[in-house]
Amino acid sequence: MAAGRDVLQAIADRFEHRFTFDEQLAGGAAIDATGTPLPDASIASCLAADAVLLGAVGGPKWSDPNAKVRPEQGLLKLRSELAVFANLRPVKVMPELVAASPLKDHLLRGVDFIVVRELTGGIYFGEKTRTANSASDLCTYHTYEIERIIRVAANLAASRRGKLCSVDKANVLETSRLWRTTVARIMREEYPGIELETLLVDAAAMHLLSRPADFDVIVTENMFGDILTDEASMLAGSLGLLPSASLGASARGLYEPIHGSAPDIAGKGIANPAAIIASCALLLRHSLMLEHEAAVVEQAITEVIREGGRTADIARGNDKVLSTTEFTDAVLRKLH
């Protein structure tokens, strides 16, 4: 988070903008301080802001499966309060990082797609029950929720290579059958020029590895999108590289890396800051309408990596390993 903030301040300095930062608690820190994972003050501040930058939540301290209060509830509540139903997760393989991926080089060439994950519906938000010997999580989707996410994805596809892949589990789930029918109708009626492919989620998990370069825009429901994007991060080389933007009907957005709080390396100063820095670029682009500034940030990350800047997660062989602050400082030098 500190890296993201420093980058935004550097952009403000260089381009003569003034950003007002308001720091609020969410997740475990909020539970420790107030007893709830998303205090009212945090919600109010986020609703009043033009954009929200979020550090990852969660950790072993708050991971008891029987706990009533959990950090993740705060994140879900924030997404829901901000009504950011469309979560954009771009996955692009940098040629310099091909070696960091477990996949073979020839499969990775030209990989450049965006997963559009539905973020405020489905099984994440359905009624949950738990008794001594049973538990249930309800998955519900309404037609309007499917229509609006499909439109976001289809518009994105129209601005890219014109290909949309919708992922569901229509051979088993009723919500997926509504999803598939709705996608087919919206695409036929509103986007006849966009090529539509439909995949079952199990097959999609395989195709992401066997032909990742074929995908342009992938649209899917909340939980499938969560799972497939962690898988997809391995194409890019590390979970520590991938940013995300969560958008709703207004320009206000929520920006966060797709990675979690990585408790295994917490406090060591070795986390890759690229994901939060790239999330700041998305923030500049989608909420502040500063396309040039966004591109400058993305270019700075690219140059640092191109010149050999490697945090531990993407270092291989004899690469010199940078700490979080060293990588961030390298980006900041590009921005100055």
Q: Name the residues annotated as catalytic.
A: 124, 169, 202, 226, 230
226 lies in the site for ligand IPM, by CB under 6 A: yes
Residues making up the chain, counted from first to last: 336
Torsions phi, psi of 44, nearest 5? -60, -45
Residue 231 near ligand IPM by CB under 6 A? no
**Cα 118 from chain centre:** 11
Please give the Cα distance from 87 to 84 (Å, whole number).
Answer: 7
Q: Name the one range near Mn ion by CB under 5 A: 47-55, 73-81, 203-211, 220-228.
A: 220-228
Tokens for 104?
Answer: 């073979």
Q: Which of 258, 281, 304, 332 binds ligand IPM (CB under 6 A)?
A: 258
Q: In angstroms, what is the minimal distance from the CB of 228 to Mn ion? A: 10
CA–CA gap between residue 177 and residue 175 (Å, rounded): 5
6 binds ligand IPM (CB under 6 A): no
Block residue for tokens 């890759």: 272
Contact stretch for Mn ion (CB under 5 A) within 92-100, 191-199, 224-232, 284-292: 224-232
Q: How far is CA 170 from CA 126, 140, 163, 199, 226, in A?
A: 19, 14, 20, 9, 18
Q: Classify strands 253-257 and 51-53 as parallel, antiparallel or unpaired.
A: parallel
Per DSSP, what are the bridge partners of residue 254?
A: 52, 246
When the beta carbons of 49 and 258 are compared against ligand IPM, the nearer one is: 258
Select from 4, 28, 39, 58 the one that contacts ligand IPM (CB under 6 A).
Answer: 58
Part in contact with Mn ion (CB under 5 A); list of ranges 69-77, 85-93, 222-230, 287-295: 222-230
Indicate the residue among 58 and 309 with the shorter CB distance to Mn ion.
Answer: 58
Residue 226 contacts Mn ion per CB under 5 A: yes
Which residues are near Mn ion by CB under 5 A? 226
Q: Give the footprint of ligand IPM on this chain (CB under 6 A).
A: 57-58, 72, 75, 226, 258, 260
